[in-house]
Structure 1
Amino acid sequence: MDQAVETVSRVPAEIRNSWATRHGTEAAERLAAAEDFADAIKQATVPPNTTDTYTKGWKVWQRFCAENGLPELEGSRGALVAYVAWLLDRGRATPGRDGTRGYAPTSAHSHLTATIVGLRERGHPATKDAHSEARARLEAIATQLAKQGERRGRGKAPAADLGNLHRIAAACDDTPTGRRDLALVLIGFHFASRASEISGLLLADITVHARGIKVAVVTGKTKRSVRTVAIPYNNDEPEICAARAWQRWLDAYGRTNQTAPAFPRIDRWGHIGGAMAPDSVTTAVARVAQRSGVPIRWTGHSLRSGLATEGRKNGKDPVNIARQGGWAPGSKAMLGYMQLADEWDDNAAAGLRRTEH
């Protein structure tokens, strides 16, 4: 029998030794190298914000295991069910805004997913049954909390709307910061952007055409969200025309290097810096909305939910809305945003009247 494979590969030793037994040492080394290469490709192609979420989630799992004396690399059914109960009861290191130590169900789901991914990446995957049981218990506990009147988390981001876009357009001044902020909000709204997508845009990604502008979104989270979308001129309401706002911002920006960020940082003295981080985009959207008198606090995600909601109100085809925002057709997230428009306009209880028989 061949010798055990000696390598620094991340492939567990028992798997490498099994390969060596079946195929020989040299083949086993090549298989391990291929596994490491696949891991490297995966790491290079996973969006940074997803990697960050998984890293944070794994740290929460480590904290749970340390607190409860459990091994990190054993995602058994009991351990995972105990984990989700702990997440919802006291998993936060510090209390949230509502004073509770338990995570919101959506955050608990994210941490559980990160843990499942982390176990698999470390060569100790949880079984499908254990994962399913943990998710089922999480949903059951979350339902009990809702019945008891507990509401955790921020909920859905309030949707940007056309009326408040007009408020923002009127409040943004003619300074470079004002022009940048208006272009950021209007362009972000019209392609249903995530904050990370706006942050990643370069000058080369936004091009002017006879009928408007095109935006090449190359930093999307999914295959569908990597897209090129058209934003036509709005001749009916030029105050909120994204294409016109972009050209005014370009005039103030004055950069011609196509690798420059489309939306850079600008300090209080008007000095232009590098690209805005996703958190900075979110902060800018909230700041501009508040300054403009928008009554509900917007977040970076308000632009994304806003297009789906306003598109639905205006009778746009859901397939075209999905294409513009990079959603899969029939996406639950997109349909959830559309329900904000439908709950009043297409309400089953609205306008009921007696009928003659």
Structure 2
Amino acid sequence: MPEPSLVPAAAGPPPELVAQWAARHGVEVAERMLQAEGFADAVRQQTTPENTTKTYAKALTVWLRFCEEQRLPDCEPTRGTLVTYAAWLLHSGRKTPARDGTRGYAPASAETHLAATIAMLRREHACAIPKDDAAEAFAALKGLMTDLVKARERRGRGQAPAAEAAELRTAALATEDSLTGVRDRALLLVGFAVASRASELASLVQADVTVQSRGLKVNILTGKTVHSVRGAAIPYAKDPEVCPVLAWMAWRERLTAETGDRFTSPTDPAFHAIDRWGNVGGAMAPAAVTDAIGRIGKRAGVPLRWTGHSLRAGLATEARRNGADAITIAAQGGWAPHSRAMHGYMRRADEWTDNATAGLL
């Protein structure tokens, strides 16, 4: 692939704009304004979530591959180019086929790539993309996605299966009476109570989890959104067998009993990796958390395989089923109050309780 011809990120304001500043305010003020632009670029780079940076980087790779395949300039996105890109993403954008042989991205992935590409080209590479052109590309993608639905073609995994309360109880009680089993029970119950992502559970340290008189306080910092920087409270549960607070305390007590004072530093992981021989290591990786959640559910006979997002989906679903409103659920799980993902989980409960056929027969 040829070297990208896109302008470097954070290239600064164009020279003609700097010249205008100098003409209006003088050279010295213009230089200070230019320094402020550089500072703003540095702040943006520092505060941009890692996941967003990775998404932009992947979008750039996909965009450059599209431009190379179509023999189009990568530095001049036009209305036609963007619409063509949208169609390409959905029908042949994958570098390697999916397991079912399809070459196009799943609709959600195609939409993410398109949005990230447009944002990246605008913000990082100063490409002029009129709003109407971007809107037409998204409209084209939506129309093509509708065509896939009409053709009964389904792609992607869809939403993660929610960990329902009854299943959660069964799974928690099915954990083994070993150090790994005690950890798994705490991982499951605490993760559910704070609507955690696998990556959040993996990144927790001991200082993030404190026992208070009325329960646990868990400080979660992911950087994915401003709403993910939160402190979630977990009260004691009515049933001590599935109480997240007691499960956390049991895990910490068991760990200390078996390893002594080796893992008592506030900066030590909240949930340690444990190998098959019972050796305790460092923090669990997000993939290890996902595997553990899936393994716990499978052992308990959960019909749908849980993933790393099942605890997050489960809290929103079960809280809604129990009568919690959107604001309360959003505060606990770190969602924006109008989050589409959160409302999608809530609809799982609402579609049964607020159903037009309920009580008719």
TM value normalised by structure 1: 0.90
Q: Which runs of 4+ in 1 moved over 6 A?
A: none
Match of 1:11 in 2: 12
How far did residue 244 of structure 1 move? 0.8
- Aligned position for 2:3: none
Root-mean-square deviation over aligned CA pairs = 2.0
Q: Could you tell me which residue of structure 2 aligns to residue 296 of structure 1?
A: 304
* Alignment match of 1:169 (pick from 146, 167, 172): 172
- Structure 1: stretches of 5+ with no match in the other structure: 1-7
Question: CA 1:197 to 1:105, structure 2 compared with 1: closer, same or farther past 3 Å?
Answer: same
Whether the 8 Å contact between 1:54 and 1:115 is mirrored in structure 2 is yes
Letter in 2 for 1:11: G
Work out whether 1:250 is the aligned partner of 2:252: yes
Q: Trace 1:1-357 onto structure 2 (pairs within 5 A).
A: 10-11=11-12, 13-14=14-15, 15-16=17-18, 19=21, 26-120=28-122, 121-235=124-238, 237-254=239-256, 255-352=263-360
Amino acid in structure 2 at the alignment position of 1:137: A
Please say if residues 220 and 226 of structure 1, whose CA atoms lie closer than 8 Å, have aligned partners that are also in contact: yes
Q: Deviations over 1:10-30 (max 9, x none)?
A: 226545555556555554444
**Range that drifts further, 167-176 or 88-97:** 167-176
Amino acid at match of 2:270: A
* Cα distance in 2 between the residues matched to 1:124 and 1:23: 27
- When structure 1 is superposed on structure 2, of 122-131 and 134-143 the one drifting more is 122-131
Q: Which whole-Å CA distance do the structure 2 matches of 1:183 and 1:322 have between them? A: 22
Residue 49 of structure 1 deviates from its aligned partner by 1.9
Equivalents in 1 of 2:208, 2:284: separation in Å? Answer: 15
Tell me, in whole angstroms, the C-alpha distance in 2 between the residues paired with 1:271 and 1:25: 65
Q: How has the CA–CA distance of structure 1 residues 305 and 252 changed in structure 2, closer, same or farther, with 3 Å as cutoff?
A: same
CA shift digits 1:236-274 (9 cap, x unpaired): x22221111101111133322101111222222323222
Structure 1 range deviating more: 273-282 or 99-108: 273-282
Amino acid at match of 1:268: R
Aligned residue pairs, count:
345
Aligned counterparts of 1:74 and 1:43: Cα–Cα separation in 2: 24
- Kept in 2: contact 1:283–1:299 (CA 8 A): yes
1:151 is displaced (CA, Å) by 0.7
* Counterpart residue type for residue 64 of structure 2: Q
